[in-house]
Amino acid sequence: MQQLSGKEVAVVGGGPAGLLAAQRLAEAGCRVHLYEAQATVGRKFLVAGHGGFNLSNAEDATLFAGRYAHRAPDFRRFLAHFSPTDLRAWATDLGISTFVGTSGRVFPQAHHKPADLLRAWVARLQALGVVLQVRHRWLGFGPNGALHLRHEATGEQTTVRPAATLLALGGASWAKTGSDGAWLPELERAGVPVRHFAAANCGAEVAWSEFFREKVGRQPLKNVALSCAGATVRGEIMLTDYGLEGTPVYALTPQVRAQLAIGGPALLHLHLKPDLSPAQLLDKLARRKPGKSVASFLGEALRLGPPVPTLLRELGPATFPAAPSEAAALLANLPIPVTSLRPLDEAISTAGGVAWEALNEHLMLHARPGTFVAGEMLDWEAPTGGYLLQGCFSTGAWAARGLLQWLEMS
Ligand SMILES: Cc1cc2nc3c(=O)[nH]c(=O)nc-3n(C[C@H](O)[C@H](O)[C@H](O)COP(=O)(O)OP(=O)(O)OC[C@H]3O[C@@H](n4cnc5c(N)ncnc54)[C@H](O)[C@@H]3O)c2cc1C
């Protein structure tokens, strides 16, 4: 047993939540040991970097907190403690300037690569004295706050006893980055209430006909609106040979999941011309001349070129309705039956993990006083758009604050 002395604390998990927590704890004077199972830290953070690297969002605080749905009241607190403005200042302090895109999303300036940010961050942690112990997998708890660890290269097992611990072990998608969710049964065994993982921000599967798959393959539908169970999201979707991808599909994952849970399929409704008012759409459809083919009429009058006619034939009635009102209803409300969500490992994020009833307001486990939890391993979900990373940063900072207060009191 290695007794870590005084203010020696352990952070387990080297994703954005754990790294930020380690930084805050080290800045407050703790001697931090960061244990990471992989050979390097921040692997999923780098994966996020390949897809645009959307760090946060510049939208108003109330709207922002609302992105975390029923956890909004908690996230209001976390975001007030480490806000999107704080995140941008943090990046600037590491030499990485950011900008707000037209959609309100916050990105690093184009000349800063994700690896530049991670490299600067790791250098800062080392300068603060954080001891980065990579290839160290947390296996479970021992008595009196002890942590069992295994060196992934040598297989050697050790036990350490820090003054306090912060777990930031991530969700359960993209297992190759280290976020394999294998910690969940271990916490369950330790008496911590958990929720099983579910895919969030992922594609949806549709049982297309063979004809559709071959003809359409992979094609975008731009500027559409997608609805499910009363929620509507605008944007671009991608038709693929297995179903649908794209921001509106990802954002509706909670609604689709809920419908599938009560016995699928779940129904998405597609509006192909959301910029037109119902009257405008009707007016355009009323101008259709007899004899004009559906495909050329849709292309010319409504700029609905391929693959829309094929999609309408696949999901709509056998013949395009002659009555303008029926045609308008079809274009504004095309039902798409979803048979399932894409596999967990492909998802951008996961719902499930440590249940909120397991935690006090400082994100400390009731079952393990002195052990705090942050990041995606907590049971929350949010859409893409910078809300995921910001949520991890903010919970990391909040849990670090709780840990510091706990150390002062103990
Ligand atoms: C393709 C993709 C694109 C994304 N793009 C964006 C984006 O643009 N914007 C955005 O906001 N979010 C994005 N995300 C989501 C974001 O990357 C995650 O929400 C975030 O990385 C989660 O941070 P975390 O620190 O909670 O966990 P993780 O980043 O998953 O880190 C957890 C760490 O814990 C380690 N670990 C796990 N178990 C153990 C153990 N037993 N012992 C020791 N270490 C362990 C893992 O190896 C891992 O390094 C994207 C995700 C994906 C997959």
Neighbours of 341 (CB within 10 A): 23
Query: What percent of the chain has a predicted confidence (pLDDT) above 70?
Result: 99
Give the domain extent around 196: 2-200+349-409
Side chain identity at 392, as an amino acid letter?
Answer: C
Whether 394 and 75 have beta carbons less than 8 Å apart is answered as: yes
Number of domains in the chain: 2
Are residues 211 and 194 part of one domain? no
Q: How confident is the model at residue 6 (pLDDT cuts 50, 70, 90)?
A: low
Are residues 55 and 169 part of one domain? yes
Are residues 216 and 291 part of one domain? yes
User: Cα of 47 to ligand 1 centre, how many Å?
Assistant: 9
**Rounded Cα gap, residues 84 and 53, in angstroms:** 15
What are the CA-CA distances from residue 97 to residues 27, 37, 285, 400 (Å)?
22, 30, 49, 25
Neighbours of 178 (CB within 10 A): 22
Are residues 325 and 388 part of one domain? no
Are residues 159 and 122 part of one domain? yes
User: Cα of 16 to ligand 1 centre, how many Å?
Assistant: 7
pLDDT of residue 102: 85
Nearest to 19 by CA among 306, 374, 346: 374
Three-class DSSP labels, 97-116: CEEECCCCEEEECCCCCHHH
Burial of 73 per CB tally in 10 Å (0-12, 13-18, 19+): exposed
**Rounded Cα gap, residues 56 and 100, in angstroms:** 9
Which protein residues are within 6 Å of ligand 1, measured from CB?
A: 12-18, 35-38, 43-45, 47-48, 51-54, 137-138, 168-171, 173-174, 178-179, 183, 348-349, 375-376, 386, 388-389, 392
Whether 106 and 131 have beta carbons less than 8 Å apart is answered as: no
**Rounded Cα gap, residues 161 and 140, in angstroms:** 12
Return the CATH number at 49.
3.50.50.60
Q: Is 134 helix (H, G, I), strand (E, B) or coil?
A: strand
What are the CA-CA distances from residue 145 to residues 10, 109, 179, 372 (Å)?
10, 42, 23, 11
Site to probe by mutation for ligand 1, drawn from 103, 121, 389, 393 as the one with most ligand atoms within 8 Å of Cβ, is 389
Q: How confident is the model at residue 290 (pLDDT cuts 50, 70, 90)?
A: confident
**Rounded Cα gap, residues 359 and 171, in angstroms:** 17
Residues 6+ apart with CB under 8 A from 312: 294, 320, 330, 331, 334
Domain end position, chosen among 282, 307, 341 = 341
Q: How confident is the model at residue 110 (pLDDT cuts 50, 70, 90)?
A: confident
- Do the strands 131-134 and 31-36 form a parallel or antiparallel pair, or are they unpaired? parallel
Domain end position, chosen among 321, 341, 361 = 341
Neighbours of 164 (CB within 10 A): 24
Are residues 284 and 241 part of one domain? yes
- Tens of pLDDT, residue by residue over 335-347, are 999 999 999 999 9
In the predicted model, is pLDDT for residue 2 greater than 80?
A: no
**Rounded Cα gap, residues 81 and 391, in angstroms:** 11
Whether 268 and 245 have beta carbons less than 8 Å apart is answered as: no
Are residues 111 and 36 part of one domain? yes
Are residues 294 and 217 part of one domain? yes
**Sheet with strand 136-141: strands edge to edge:** 2-3, 157-161, 147-151, 136-141
pLDDT of residue 358: 98
Are residues 381 and 254 part of one domain? no
User: Cα of 174 to ligand 1 centre, how many Å?
Assistant: 8
In the predicted model, is pLDDT for residue 3 greater than 80?
A: no
Average of pLDDT values for 319-324?
95
Are residues 101 and 120 part of one domain? yes
Q: What is the DSSP string of 342-402?
A: PPGGG-SEEEEEE-GGGB-TTSBBTTSTTEEE-GGGBS----SSSHHHHHHHHHHHHHHHH
- Tens of pLDDT, residue by residue over 232-278, are 999 999 999 999 999 999 999 999 999 999 997 899 999 999 999 99
Are residues 214 and 154 part of one domain? no
Domain end position, chosen among 294, 314, 341 = 341
Are residues 14 and 128 part of one domain? yes
- Tens of pLDDT, residue by residue over 77-94, are 999 999 999 999 999 999
In the predicted model, is pLDDT for residue 1 greater than 70?
A: no
